[in-house]
Structure 1
Amino acid sequence: MPPYTIVYFPVRGRYEAMRILLADQGQSWKEEVVTMDTWMQGKLKSTCLYGQLHKFEDGDLTLYQSNAILRHLGRSFGLYGKDQREAALVDLVNDRVEDLCLKYVTLIYTKYEDGKDEYVKALPGHLKPFETLLSQNQGGKAFIVGNQISFADYNLLELLLIHQVLAPDCLDNFPLLSASVARLSARPKIKAFLSSPDHVNRPINGNGKQ
């Protein structure tokens, strides 16, 4: 049996970055797909620590928050920088990814019709710091921090991929981010995952908006 189990709705949501990470690290995992009908029955919800999914099982360890899971996998696979300085920078990047992810989720689920244009207009200001960080690290030819991939790279990659669906030209003025997406997406195991039916057929969000 795979050591990892993902318990989540049948969407990419906040879990696709973890799936990309696991795939790139050559790991297998089990999916327990939760339908909305099952969730609304309340039995599973009552067992979740915070009354919400994400739920992730690593053997006898059960975790809930998505970023706690990413950090756990980062420590498990050496994806947390080479030292404390790099670890701090990885956290800095990931926290900024979380900030933009929350703005995206708010747009998708509460403001899509009336707020999309304003969101896309403001998007360059949210993406520029990532471009700056790349430029400061080996001229943008490596990863977001240091010379090895981190869990923040996977999280940022998924964030950028879904934004390219929302606003296809959003990276046109960010050559380093655009190159980073292409470079990471071309890693053999990530490329295989991104082209797999599981990924291609999995909706980005639960309400059909993207």
Structure 2
Amino acid sequence: MSGKPVLHYVSVRGRMEPVKWLLAAAGVEFEERFLETKEDLQKLRADGCLLFQQVPMVEIDGMKLVQTRAILNYIAGKYNLYGKDLKERALIDMYVEGMADLYELIMMNVVQPADKKEEHLANALDKATNRYFPVFEKILNHGHDFLVGNKLSRADVSLLETILVVEERKPDALAKFPLLQSFKARISNTPNIKKFLQPGSQRKPPLQEKDIPSLMAIFH
């Protein structure tokens, strides 16, 4: 077996995507093993690989890690993307959790009933531009390149990922946020992240309604 982390998930954008972003930002190559059938999932469960019977699951350093936040915390700590002390880590956690709420809201739009989709998306985008993005615009007013401290952290990676997810639905989402526009350009051009944003990378396109039946077949 290679020394690369092995990521077990379905072949769509979902809860594994932030893990891939963080590994990519750290310059870590990883292998993906996709669940294609219900039997694939059942085999992982039967083999005792899934502590809570759920994916995502990441094999790394001899462990089989589950629960997305735990996976992200480990990777951030291992690859020095988690601040220099407890205070910085607390800020990073706070910012990441805020963005996770917005990210989840956007991601869940695809599974809304047809008659609720438009209203749900409008609400999510309103929160992006009136609740979440103003917070980060204000934080970036500190004049530094990064959200916390003087180096890249998982908070920066998470914010860029979230910005791009919002812009897929609302291309002008950053129109009123010049500091976030500069942040997006700056972080997108760091070598590891720039590579991950290129066509042909392991980054997944947005989840589509057509993907739902195959996911349901695996998870239900």
1:35-71 Cα offsets, whole Å, 9 max, x none, are: 2x33686333554222321111103111111121111
How far apart are 1:118 and its partner, in Å? 3.0
Relative to structure 1, the CA distance from residue 120 to residue 39 in structure 2 (aligned partners, 3 Å threshold; closer, same or farther) is farther
Matched, 1:70 2:76: no
Distance 1:196 1:39 in 2: 31
Aligned twin of 1:51: 53
Distance 1:108 1:126, change over 3 A: farther
Query: Which consecutive unaligned segments of at least 5 residues does structure 2 have?
Result: 212-220
Runs (4 or more) in structure 1 with deviation over 6 Å come to none
CA contact (8 A) 2:58 2:71 kept: yes
Gaps of 5+ in 1: none
What's the secondary structure of 2:209's corresponding residue? coil
Is residue 156 of structure 1 aligned with residue 159 of structure 2? Answer: yes
Alignment of 1:120-139 (within 5 A): 120-124=125-129, 125-135=131-141, 137=142, 139=143
Match of 1:193 among 186, 193, 196: 196
**2:103–2:165: 8 Å Cα contact kept in structure 1?**
no
Measure, in 2, the Cα distance between the counterparts of 1:75 and 1:92. Answer: 16
Equivalent residue number for residue 118 of structure 1: 123
Partners of 2:169 and 2:205 in 1: CA distance: 13
Aligned equivalents of 1:41 and 1:13: distance in 2?
A: 16
Name the TM-score, length of structure 2 as normaliser.
0.82
Partner of 1:97: 99
Counterpart residue identity of residue 107, structure 1: N
Closer/same/farther in 2, CA of residues 170 and 39 from structure 1, 3 Å limit: farther
Normalised by the size of structure 1, how large is the TM-score? 0.86
Once residues 176 and 160 of structure 2 are traced to their aligned partners in structure 1, the CA distance between those partners, rounded to angstroms, is 17
Aligned length: 204
Instruction: Give the match's secondary structure for 1:31.
Output: strand
